[in-house]
């Protein structure tokens, strides 16, 4: 997927994430403080504005995703602003200079983004965060390097959704939901669902 197509796919992800606000709000009302939907909505509305404007002129897909992350970080606030901003910024930097988004390039983005999220937030797999969805996606992407992106992305998104589902069986140790302790059992982590939705919406828009 070249730069122009990747930009329009991410633009479409932004629109769909804005529309996911009610679902994400509901999930964070159960296990958190209820602001995750509004935070993601604010962040992706800012990303949509960025991509619609003519001040965003990245040279390559790495630069594009870096700018997306910077915009998320500056507009969202909360734990997820720092976490999702870090994913896109570090992942974008790791694929600097790449003219196209391919499966190996996406794999590197997810893997380096995950490492940066580890470094930034300290959450490990099993701690009931977006890390659980992102780890599942990064592992799946690494195993599909030879598949074209149109085939790999739906599988990567499905793996992320499974990772998010798995957070139901975890007790939160990070963020607001840690105060819930065992009561968070049985409910998905909202950030993990956001991570899976981002990849799902990418998969729905992807072309070669």
| Interacting residues toward ligand ADP by CB under 6 A | 28, 32-33, 35-36, 39, 78-80, 83, 117, 121-123, 129-131, 174-176, 189-192
Q: How far is the CB of 187 from ligand ADP (least distance, A)?
A: 11
Query: Residue count at the site for Mg ion (CB under 5 A)?
Result: 6
Look up residue 192 and give its two tokens: 């993990």
Among the listed residues 3, 13, 27, 28, the single contact to Mg ion using CB under 5 A:
28
Who contacts 185 (Cβ-Cβ below 8 Å, separation ≥6)?
168, 169, 170, 171
Residue 91 touches which of Mg ion, ligand ADP, none (Cβ within 5-8 Å per kind): none
Measured from the CB atom, the residue of 37 and 205 that comes closer to ligand ADP is: 37
| Secondary structure of residue 205 in the 3-state scheme | helix
Q: How far is the CB of 18 from ligand ADP (least distance, A)?
A: 15
Residue 36 touches Mg ion, criterion: CB under 5 A: yes
Cα(48)–Cα(53) distance, rounded to whole angstroms? 9
Q: How far is the CB of 34 from ligand ADP (least distance, A)?
A: 8
Among the listed residues 21, 35, 60, 98, the single contact to Mg ion using CB under 5 A:
35
Look up residue 182 and give its two tokens: 């065992």
CA distances (Å), origin 143, targets 6, 45, 138: 22, 33, 9
Tokens 């828009």 map to which residue?
A: 205
Q: How far is the CB of 170 from ligand ADP (least distance, A)?
A: 11
Cα(112)–Cα(119) distance, rounded to whole angstroms? 11
Cα(113)–Cα(7) distance, rounded to whole angstroms? 19
Residue 130 touches which of Mg ion, ligand ADP, none (Cβ within 5-8 Å per kind): ligand ADP
């Amino acid at each position: 997927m070249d730069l122009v197509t990747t930009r329009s796919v991410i633009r479409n992800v932004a629109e769909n994430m804005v529309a996911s606000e009610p679902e994400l709000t509901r999930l964070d009302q159960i296990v958190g403080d209820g602001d995750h939907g509004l935070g993601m909505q604010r962040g992706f509305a800012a990303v949509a504005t960025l991509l619609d404007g003519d001040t965003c002129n990245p040279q390559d897909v790495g630069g594009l995703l870096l700018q997306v992350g910077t915009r998320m970080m500056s507009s969202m606030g909360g734990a997820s602003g720092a976490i999702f901003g870090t994913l896109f910024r570090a992942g974008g930097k790791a694929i600097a200079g790449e003219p196209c988004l391919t499966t190996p390039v996406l794999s590197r983005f997810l893997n380096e983004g995950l490492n940066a999220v580890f470094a930034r937030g300290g959450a490990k797999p099993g701690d009931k965060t977006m890390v659980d969805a992102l780890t599942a996606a990064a592992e799946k992407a690494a195993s599909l390097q030879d598949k074209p992106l149109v085939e790999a992305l739906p599988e990567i998104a499905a793996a992320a959704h499974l990772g998010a589902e798995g957070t139901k069986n975890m007790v939160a140790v990070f963020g607001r939901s840690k105060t819930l302790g065992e009561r968070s059992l049985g409910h998905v982590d909202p950030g993990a669902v956001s991570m899976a939705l981002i990849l799902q919406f990418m998969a729905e828009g992807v072309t070669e």
